[in-house]
Amino acid sequence: MFRNASALVKRLDRVAVVGVNGAGKSTLLKIICGEVAPTEGQVTLGARIEVGYFSQNSLDVLDPKSTILEEVQSHFPTAGLGFLRSLLGALKFSGDDVDKKISVLSGGEKSRVVLATILARPVNFLVLDEPTNHLDIASREVLLEAIKAFPGTVMIVSHDRHFLREITTRVFELDKQHLLVTDGSWDYYLHKRERSGL
């Protein structure tokens, strides 16, 4: 699908992966997370890299019979109840909310549960494929703040310009089977793109 794509991602990078529908953004993220094997080439993750992966179909992998709290607990059984409740509280699930069954949740609520399962573990590399699609503005802000405060690397596919503008430090653009890397903010990327007449 894409060739000659080579890039090194460093700690604390916030990489926005962009490209038209079908460009291969999700595929690139899956390859990086080891979900699919590359047909050619290789991905090397540094030692001690723990990935937290939010995929476009991660809402479907939640167990509909579990409660919110049980679902998050299953991903991090050693965490204390207080820790998990405060994590869920930060994601706007308070009090009895955490005992709701996954099966009754809205898309936005399920997205927040998935984000909780990802953030519950001590990961240092967040790979997020369109994480804000079902989120309302308040939940987007919660995620945005979590990403800003996150002491690791972030690679994200998103169509949310506000999000991209707030966090991006590098842009990986998938275009006509090439990977174009721009080091700099989202505005710098747009500026550079405009100047090159694309």
Ligand X SMILES: Nc1ncnc2c1ncn2[C@@H]1O[C@H](COP(=O)(O)OP(=O)(O)OP(=O)(O)O)[C@@H](O)[C@H]1O
**Residue 127 and residue 183: Cα distance in Å, rounded?**
18
Q: Which is nearer to ligand X, 29 or 69 (CB)?
A: 29
- The footprint of ligand X on this chain (CB under 6 A) covers a number of residues equal to 9
The entry of ligand X, Mg ion, none near residue 67 (CB within 5 to 8 angstroms by kind) is none
Token pair for 25: 């953004």
Q: What are phi and psi of 97, to 5 degrees?
A: -50, -40
**Residue 51 and residue 123: Cα distance in Å, rounded?**
6
Q: What are phi and psi of 117, to 5 degrees?
A: -65, -30
Does position 168 interact with Mg ion (CB under 5 A)? The reply is no
**Residue choice 2, 5, 17, 26 for contact with Mg ion (CB under 5 A):** 26
**Residue 15 and residue 22: Cα distance in Å, rounded?**
19
Q: Which is nearer to ligand X, 27 or 124 (CB)?
A: 27
Among residues 139, 132, 138, 134, the alpha carbon closest in space to that of 163 is found at 132
Q: How far is the CB of 178 from Mg ion (least distance, A)?
A: 18
Per-residue binder mask for ligand X (CB under 6 A), 7-46, x = binder: ------------x-xxxxxxx-------------------
Q: Which stretch binds Mg ion (CB under 5 A): 20-28, 78-86, 100-108, 173-181?
A: 20-28
Per-residue binder mask for Mg ion (CB under 5 A), 86-115, x = binder: ------------------------------
**Residue 163 and residue 183: Cα distance in Å, rounded?**
17
- Interacting residues toward Mg ion by CB under 5 A: 25-26
